[in-house]
Amino acid sequence: MSVSGLCQVCEVEPATHDCARCGTFVCDNHFHRTSGLCSQCASESSPGEGGGPARKF
């Protein structure tokens, strides 16, 4: 998939990635390479859960 346009987070930098969870187009600064998620989705997921929603026990 080709990504073009501006980052949907900062609206300044060119979008170079799309989030594997929500599909948001983001720049390098707002993309978490390890998980393939945008900064928002990456901050919502817990480490070791594969990028899924954080679980509360």
In a domain, 48, yes or no: no
- From the list 54, 45, 6, the residue with the least C-alpha distance to 27 is 6
In a domain, 25, yes or no: yes
Domain count of the chain? Answer: 1
pLDDT at 48: 56
In a domain, 54, yes or no: no
Question: Which residue range is the domain that position 4 belongs to?
Answer: 1-42
Q: Which segments of the chain are extended strands (E)?
A: 17-18, 25-26, 31-32, 37-38
Tens of pLDDT, residue by residue over 42-54, are: 999 856 555 555 5
pLDDT at 7 over 70: yes
pLDDT at 4: 78
In a domain, 51, yes or no: no
- From the list 12, 13, 14, the residue with the least C-alpha distance to 4 is 14
In a domain, 32, yes or no: yes
Tens of pLDDT, residue by residue over 9-39, are: 999 999 999 999 999 999 999 999 999 999 9
| Confidence label for 6 from pLDDT (cuts 50, 70 and 90) | very high
C-alpha–C-alpha distance, residues 45 and 39, integer Å: 10
Please, are residues 32 and 12 in contact by the beta-carbon 8 Å criterion? no
In a domain, 20, yes or no: yes
